Amino acid sequence: MRNVAIVGAGMTRFAKYQDRGLKELTNEAVSAALESAGVDKSGFEVAVVGNAAAGVITGQECVRAQVVLREMGIDKIPMVNTENACASSSTAFQVAWLYVASGLYDVALAVGVEKMFVDDKLKTMAAFSGAVDVEQIRELMSSLKPPSEKKAGTESGAGTKRSLFMDIYGAVARSHMERYGTTKEHYARIAVKNHNNGSLNPHAQYQERYTLEEILASPAVSEPLTRLMCSPIGDGAAAAVLMSEEKAKQFTTDPVMVRGSAIVSGADDRGEVGGETGRAAQRAFEMAGMTPRDVNVMEVHDATAPSELFIYEELGLCEEGEGGRLIEEGVTEIGGRLPVNTSGGLLAKGHPIGATGIAQIYEIWLQLHGKAGDRQVAGAKVGLTENGGGMIRGEAAATAVHILAK
Contact 240, 9 (CB under 8 A): yes
Say which of 176, 186, 351, 402 is annotated catalytic. Answer: 351
* Total tally of structural domains belonging to the chain: 1
Any domain includes 192:
no
Q: How far apart are CA 336 and CA 350, in angstroms?
A: 23
Any domain includes 27:
yes
Any domain includes 187:
no
Contact 383, 297 (CB under 8 A): yes
Any domain includes 41:
yes
Any domain includes 155:
no
CATH number at residue 394: 3.40.47.10
Any domain includes 275:
yes
| List of the chain residues with pLDDT < 70 | 127-128, 136-163, 270-274
Angle 202-208-209 (CA atoms, 0-180°, nearest 5)?
120
Any domain includes 216:
no
Q: How far apart are CA 144 and CA 150, in angstroms?
A: 10
Q: How far apart are CA 152 and CA 167, in angstroms?
A: 16
Position 335 scores a pLDDT of: 95
Catalytic site residue 351? yes
- Give the chain's end-to-end CA distance (angstroms, integer): 19
Output the CA torsion 355→357→360→365 (10° steps): -100
Position 269 scores a pLDDT of: 74
Say which of 62, 86, 176, 369 is annotated catalytic. Answer: 86
Position 190 scores a pLDDT of: 98
Any domain includes 382:
yes
Reported pTM: 0.93
Residue numbers of the domain that contains 278: 4-119+233-405
Position 121 scores a pLDDT of: 72
Residue 253 CB: number of other CB atoms within 10 A?
6
